[in-house]
Amino acid sequence: MARGEGAEQYSNTNLLQKPSPDGIKLAAKRESRGRLSVCSKLCYAIGGAPYQITGCAIGFFLQIYLLDVALLDPFYASIILFVGRAWDAITDPTVGFLVSRSPWTRFGRMMPWIVLSTPFAVLCYFLIWYVPSVDQGKVVWYLIFYCSFQTLQTCFHVPYSALTMFISTEQKERDSATAYRMTVEVLGTLIGTAVQGQIVGMANAPCISSGKDLNSTDLQVAPEVNITEPHVSLEHLRNAYMIASGVICSIYVVCAMVLFLGVKEQKETCRVRTEPMSFFQGIRMVMGHGPYAKLVMGFLFTSLAFMFLEGNFALFCSYTLGFRNDFQNILLVIMLSATLAIPFWQWFLTKFGKKTAVYIGTTSVVPFLVSVVFVPSNLIVTYVVSFAAGVSVAAAFLLPWSMLPDAVDDFKVQNPESQGHEAIFYSFYVFFTKFASGVSLGVSTLSLDFAGYVTRGCTQPAEVDLTLKILVSAAPIVLIIIGLLIFISYPINEEKRQGNRKILNEQRENEIDSETDSTELNVV
């Protein structure tokens, strides 16, 4: 009798331990939600192209456009460049906060921001590259539309970057999608460089050899300068910039449509157990997380280094190296090399770890920064150096966005009761990246003004050549060293990352068990 009771008890225990059909279905559903098809990854990646295409065009060409095409004084150009980026000090965290408080819709929580901001962002971008006929209103014109574009682009890019956390629950799938995204984004910089550079390059206006700083008033009234050919060519150049901006705007719209139609945003898998926090609580929460703060500060300095190089390379090629008619092709080589190198860095960080990839990838550009300044000017050598430098540019693109989800996951592990704040983390990272760009452009243009930059001059004073060498070589090297010193204390290595992944998987399994129990109770 006792043996029969024991057998019955054993049988009942097995029945209790055996997963129910509803539980199996729920677990299978969770697993399938974590997997992404190649098509979904590609559509997600294409959504990152508009930010890089427009950012590349602005980074490489806006400074020289304001100085040599819009004919603004370097001081006013520096104000426009700095204020436009510094404006993101308000818009990025604010948009991130608003996105985190946005209600869920049938299209998701991020997608409405992306779709609604696109047409207005495209309009403002086009007007940045238009030269108004009223000289006195140029500064106000560019300030308004540059700041407006930065705001609308933030409404696109912050939700898009935070979307990484909502396309899959699996860390491996997110890393794979990020690699797809970085490949397309670097390809986007290649497209931006090709469209802007080649169209503008075909309408290259001749320089002015008079030695005087030429502005729009000089073009109209200065009798001692032969202005007929420069004036006509300048109009052609302005039209070329507008054509290039129109092409880029069209690409922007197409990419946004592909993202919207090809990516399904997943609702948070974990129940939000905290009340929505205030804006300043969000700031304290984000910056109070040590690994995230170190990651952002490290990449702030390394990003600033590459942005100094990006913002001044066109002027450096035109005046210091003497390749005025070839700089757009040199930029194209850099971006082509970066595009081809993305798969290599994805393999490298998978094989050797992300921190190792940061050290090697970032420092690999230093020898080329030195050689481009000290090796005598030679077009073939410049092409070779540019191709090699593009490999490091690829690492600078890929690694920050590949490591950011790890810092967010670490926050989730340390704060399991606080969920739904991904947009705030991503918005602050976008802010610091744009702020670095604004600082680099503003400092660069002011430095050139102090050095005596001659607008559209065939030659520049020796002080300008020295300033350009510092901006594309010495300053980036110092900033890279500072950034790498900060990374030494970054605590999330491969062991820590895998440990966080295991803990989060256990939390998801507990969620599955909890939902399974609830389902079974409802059935009973």
Provide the pLDDT for residue 13. Answer: 41
Look at the pTM and tell me if it is higher than 0.75. Answer: no
pLDDT confidence bin for 207, thresholds 50/70/90: low
Tokens of 256: 């946004």
Rg of the chain in Å (alpha carbons): 26
Q: Which ranges in the chain are annotated with CATH 1.20.1250.20? A: 36-207+230-266, 277-492
Whether residue 345 is predicted with pLDDT greater than 70 in this model: the reply is yes
Q: What is 277-492's CATH topology? A: Growth Hormone; Chain: A; (1.20.1250)
42 or 513, which is more confident? 42
CA 322 from centroid of its chain's CA atoms: 30
Provide the pLDDT for residue 16. Answer: 41
Provide the pLDDT for residue 387. Answer: 86
Provide the pLDDT for residue 314. Answer: 76
Sign of CA dihedral 340, 483, 356, 507: negative
CA dist 436 and 267 (Å) reads 33
DSSP-derived 3-state class of residue 132 = coil
Whether residue 257 is predicted with pLDDT greater than 90 in this model: the reply is yes
Whether residue 210 is predicted with pLDDT greater than 60 in this model: the reply is no
Provide the pLDDT for residue 129. Answer: 92
pLDDT confidence bin for 219, thresholds 50/70/90: very low
Q: Write the CB contacts of 78 (distance below 8 Å, at least 6 apart in sequence).
A: 441, 442, 444, 445, 446, 449
Provide the pLDDT for residue 246. Answer: 92
pLDDT confidence bin for 5, thresholds 50/70/90: very low
CA dist 323 and 480 (Å) reads 27
CA dist 309 and 290 (Å) reads 29
Q: Write out the CATH class of domain 36-207+230-266.
A: mainly alpha
Provide the pLDDT for residue 211. Answer: 44
18 class by beta-carbon count within 10 Å (0-12 exposed, 13-18 middle, 19+ buried):
exposed
DSSP 411-455: HHHH-TT--S-HHHHHHHHHHHHHHHHHHHHHHHHHHHHHHTPPT
Tens-place pLDDT, residues 471-488 = 988 999 999 999 999 988
Tens-place pLDDT, residues 53-105 = 898 888 778 888 888 888 888 888 888 888 887 786 678 778 877 887 777 77
Whether residue 399 is predicted with pLDDT greater than 50 in this model: the reply is yes
CB 368 within 8 A of CB 389: yes
Provide the pLDDT for residue 270. Answer: 45
Whether residue 208 is predicted with pLDDT greater than 80 in this model: the reply is no
Provide the pLDDT for residue 250. Answer: 93
21 class by beta-carbon count within 10 Å (0-12 exposed, 13-18 middle, 19+ buried):
exposed
Mean per-residue pLDDT, 188-207:
73
Tens-place pLDDT, residues 267-304 = 654 444 455 556 677 677 777 888 888 988 888 898 88
Provide the pLDDT for residue 479. Answer: 92
- Most confident listed range (120-134, 225-239, 363-377): 120-134
Provide the pLDDT for residue 251. Answer: 93
Whether residue 380 is predicted with pLDDT greater than 90 in this model: the reply is no
- Report DSSP state, residue 165: G
CA dist 488 and 481 (Å) reads 11
CB 300 within 8 A of CB 475: no
51-55, 306-310, 508-512, range with the lowest pLDDT: 508-512
Provide the pLDDT for residue 145. Answer: 93
Whether residue 522 is predicted with pLDDT greater than 60 in this model: the reply is no
Mean pLDDT across the chain: 77
Provide the pLDDT for residue 88. Answer: 67
